Amino acid sequence: MSLRISVRKSGTVTILDLMGCITFGAAADAFKAQLREIAESAERDVIVNFAEVSQIDSSGVGALVQSYVSLTRGGGTLIVINPVGNVREVFEVTHLNRTIATYTDEAAALASLRSTSAGA
């Protein structure tokens, strides 16, 4: 199964809704390119929705980590929402869920970004 990426906005926050697998090859490359494009834009707060992602491998994890570092260094934020099944397990084993803010609810993720912005 290939990866489909749907991009939407909530205010200044970019939300990526993913569907499929993020594995070595075209899927991981597309995911990385989409995140790089956002990191290079003026609006650098990103929520990545993994609700419909069935698999992620090391290339997908690498793209996510690289983007997290780039966004954070550029003053942005990357949040993960709804990792389920195999993806949730990968995040737990690699401790990504301890490094990258992870939520089960989009509204809570958006609220956390708003509270961070208000405190800045």
**Rounded to an integer, what distance in angstroms lies between the CA atom of residue 119 and that of residue 93?**
32
Tens digits of per-residue pLDDT, 29-77? Answer: 999 999 999 988 888 899 999 999 999 999 999 999 999 999 999 999 9
pLDDT for residue 116 is more than 80: no
CB 19 within 8 A of CB 53: yes
| Domain chopping of the chain, boundaries | 4-119
pTM of the model: 0.93
**DSSP-assigned beta bridge partners for residue 5:** 18
**Rounded to an integer, what distance in angstroms lies between the CA atom of residue 117 and that of residue 120?**
5
pLDDT for residue 118 is more than 80: no
Confidence at 1, pLDDT banded by 50, 70, 90:
low
Query: Phi and psi for 102 in degrees, rounded to 5?
Result: -130, 130
Q: What is the DSSP letter of 97?
A: H
Indicate the CATH number of 4-119 among 3.30.360.10, 3.40.630.10, 3.30.750.24, 3.30.160.150.
3.30.750.24
DSSP β-ladder status, 102-103 and 77-81: parallel
Stronger pLDDT, 14 or 114, i.e. the higher one: 14
Which amino acid appears at position 15 of this protein?
I
